[in-house]
């Protein structure tokens, strides 16, 4: 489609911030069916739908910019503690949103704080840029993030999309005054059009119904077979450690797994990690498709502890995915974080073996840094990434439940790459190192999160690993996955492959295809 209709926005903020202002407004306005056209000419302010200025402009809704925000962004300083606080945004008691950079004098402004800079620091992962702390996998830990450090923020709440709701409330009456077309209803991105016009013709369902949100179904293939010599050795090590520590539950689990292998899998020549019949069959029965991220090469211990087994068995897995018309994406390994050349090599190798184009990526262990890794993905020609999340907690890493193009701070421009938010991962919910939730609680947390996605007309991915579809290993999390799929389909949501969700977003927002 052609570019979205523009809305004229006057600003007198520092010119050095122009690219960041334009990108932030573009990201928040795209779900409203509009794009910003910035102007600095005061003579045109009467034609503007919005102003972003140091002082209120009579007759035009004005968002304040503050010297505090400008200085922090230009000097690349970290947010001071307590920057985000509840700010009143409506006449009713309790109408408040977490925001930073409050105006010194709020009288005359449409909102009392700088929603543009507040959104920018979340969308651009300012915490990662200004904090050097990293965990064992080279990631910013959740404990060092803005969400852990700012009590007013909750990672489960897509606050940037709430700012977009404020913009909708400001723009709707102003556009009517200017005689412009009204804004489309929330969720318009995903409604209408029937089946997604992808290469499978059947990679998303529910797009024509009333759901108004999107869920990309995704799976990471970390290991394909558990019971190898290394697998037995690892189980023995874990069992001995549990015995030494007096951890009876862990010891029973390891012994039970060995008993299951001996009495079930050995006879059938099956394995609890080889769950493609259950996974693909459950999706096919529901008429949905999904995306699988595959490791292309193993050269580092973090790439997987069974490289020979993976290489032996991945051809059969790829054949099943090809026959099932699933999308195959790259599961980025250690070296894929280091340069565009290894990324291109692994992508091309995987594409040749899978017999399909590889457009998307998710990094193994979510080892993706916003300001270092994403520019490499653009240079390597990927269409989208869906890695940005914290392993420790479900939610919205960048403050939004909508796809967007990340911002390259070093080059002061948006990337062509699309980021598809990863909202929830099975390992986050179930793993004892993270949330350690029983399946019922994990389902409740996931449903609550997707309800927030639906409320803002968002589009996100969910991640379930292949080993979560063995009844014993899953401990109910296989049922959680299919319950979430069934719930989204019942809502009429746009449900399917990650590339279908990204393609719909790009087509509907009229942006340049990645």
Residue 305: per-residue pLDDT:
82
Residue 336: what pLDDT? 95
Instruction: State the average pLDDT over residues 90-106.
Output: 84
Q: Which of 125, 157, 158, 163 is nearest to 142 (CA)?
A: 125
**Strand pairing partners for 85?**
99
Structure tokens that stand for 445 in this block: 């947390």
Q: Mean pLDDT across the chain, nearest whole number?
A: 93
* Residue 208 pLDDT level (bands cut at 50, 70, 90): very low
Task: Note the pLDDT of residue 91.
Answer: 59
Measured in degrees and rounded to the nearest 5, phi and psi for residue 62 equal -120, 130
Contacts of 502 (CB under 8 A, 6+ apart): 216, 360, 383, 384, 403, 418, 420, 514
Cα separation, 15 vs 278, in Å, equals: 56
The pLDDT-based confidence of 512 (bands split at 50, 70, 90) is: low
Residue 361: strand pairing partners: 330, 385
DSSP string, 6-26: EEEEEE-S-GGGHHHHHHHHH
Q: What is the pTM of this model?
A: 0.94
**CA–CA gap between residue 221 and residue 364 (Å, rounded):** 9
Query: What's the gap between Cα 348 and its chain centre?
Result: 24
Place 210 in a pLDDT band, splitting at 50, 70 and 90.
low
The answer to whether 405 and 414 are in contact (CB under 8 A) is: yes
Q: Phi first, then psi: give them for residue 72, nearest 5 degrees.
A: -60, -45
Average pLDDT for residues 1-29, to the nearest whole number?
94
* Distance of alpha carbon 215 from alpha carbon 453, whole angstroms: 9
104-108, 174-178, 305-309 — which one is most confidently predicted on average? Answer: 174-178
Q: Among 212, 167, 210, 213, which Cα is nearest to 401's?
A: 213
Confidence of residue 513 (pLDDT cuts 50, 70, 90): very low
Q: Please, which residues have CB within 8 angstroms of residue 94's CB and are 6 or more apart in sequence? A: none
- List the beta bridge partners of residue 5: none
Q: In this model, does residue 459 exceed pLDDT 60?
A: yes
Count of other CB atoms within 10 angstroms of residue 178: 14
Residue 35 pairs with which residues in a beta bridge? Answer: 6
Segment 294-351, tens digit of pLDDT: 999 999 999 988 899 999 999 999 999 999 999 999 999 999 999 999 999 999 999 9
- Cβ–Cβ under 8 Å, residues 214 and 458: yes
What's the confidence (pLDDT) of residue 2? 58
| The predicted structure's pLDDT at residue 106 | 92
């Amino acid at each position: 489609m052609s570019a979205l209709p523009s809305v004229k926005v006057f600003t007198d903020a520092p010119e050095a911030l122009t690219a960041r202002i334009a990108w932030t407004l573009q990201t928040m306005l795209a779900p409203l069916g509009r794009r910003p056209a910035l102007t600095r000419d005061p003579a045109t302010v009467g034609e503007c739908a919005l102003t972003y200025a140091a002082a209120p402009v009579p007759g035009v809704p004005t968002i304040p910019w503050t010297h505090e925000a400008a200085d922090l962004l230009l000097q690349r300083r970290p947010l001071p503690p307590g920057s985000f606080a509840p700010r009143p945004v409506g006449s009713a008691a309790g109408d408040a949103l977490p925001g930073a950079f409050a105006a010194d004098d709020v009288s005359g402004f449409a909102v009392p704080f700088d929603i543009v800079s507040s959104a920018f620091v979340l969308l651009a992962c300012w915490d990662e840029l200004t904090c050097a702390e990293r965990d064992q996998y080279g990631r910013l830990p959740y404990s060092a993030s803005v969400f852990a450090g700012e009590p007013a923020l909750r990672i489960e709440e897509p606050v940037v999309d709430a700012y977009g709701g404020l913009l909708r409330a400001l723009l709707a009456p102003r556009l009517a005054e200017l005689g412009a077309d009204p804004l489309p209803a929330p969720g318009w991105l995903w409604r209408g059009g029937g089946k997604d016009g992808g290469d499978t013709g059947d990679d998303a369902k529910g797009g024509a119904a009333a759901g108004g949100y999107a869920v990309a179904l995704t799976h990471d293939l970390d290991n394909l077979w558990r019971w190898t010599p290394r697998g037995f050795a690892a189980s023995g090590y874990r069992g001995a450690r549990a015995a030494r520590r007096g951890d009876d539950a862990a010891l029973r689990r390891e012994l039970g797994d060995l008993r299951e292998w001996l009495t079930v899998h050995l006879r059938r020549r099956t394995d609890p990690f080889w769950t493609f019949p259950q996974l693909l069959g459950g999706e096919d029965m529901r008429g949905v498709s999904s995306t699988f991220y595959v490791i292309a090469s193993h050269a580092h211990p973090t790439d997987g502890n069974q490289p020979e087994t993976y290489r032996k068995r991945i051809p059969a897995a790829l054949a099943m995915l090809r026959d099932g018309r699933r999308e195959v994406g790259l599961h980025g390994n250690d070296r894929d974080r280091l340069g565009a050349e290894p990324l291109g090599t692994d992508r091309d190798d995987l594409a040749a073996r899978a017999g399909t184009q590889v457009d998307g990526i998710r990094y193994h262990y979510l080892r993706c840094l916003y300001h270092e890794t994403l520019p490499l993905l653009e240079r390597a020609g990927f269409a989208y990434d869906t890695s940005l999340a914290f392993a420790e907690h479900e939610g919205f890493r960048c403050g939004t439940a909508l796809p967007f193009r990340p911002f390259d701070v070093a080059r002061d421009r948006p990337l062509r790459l699309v980021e598809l938010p990863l909202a929830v991962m099975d390992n986050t919910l179930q793993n004892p190192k993270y949330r350690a939730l029983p399946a019922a609680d994990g389902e409740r947390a996931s449903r609550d999160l997707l309800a927030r996605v639906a409320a803002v007309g968002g589009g996100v991915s969910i991640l379930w690993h292949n080993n979560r579809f063995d009844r014993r290993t899953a401990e109910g999390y296989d049922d959680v996955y299919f319950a979430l799929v069934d719930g989204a389909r019942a809502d009429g949501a746009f449900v399917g492959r990650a590339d279908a969700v990204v393609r719909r977003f790009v087509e509907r927002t009229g942006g340049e295809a990645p």
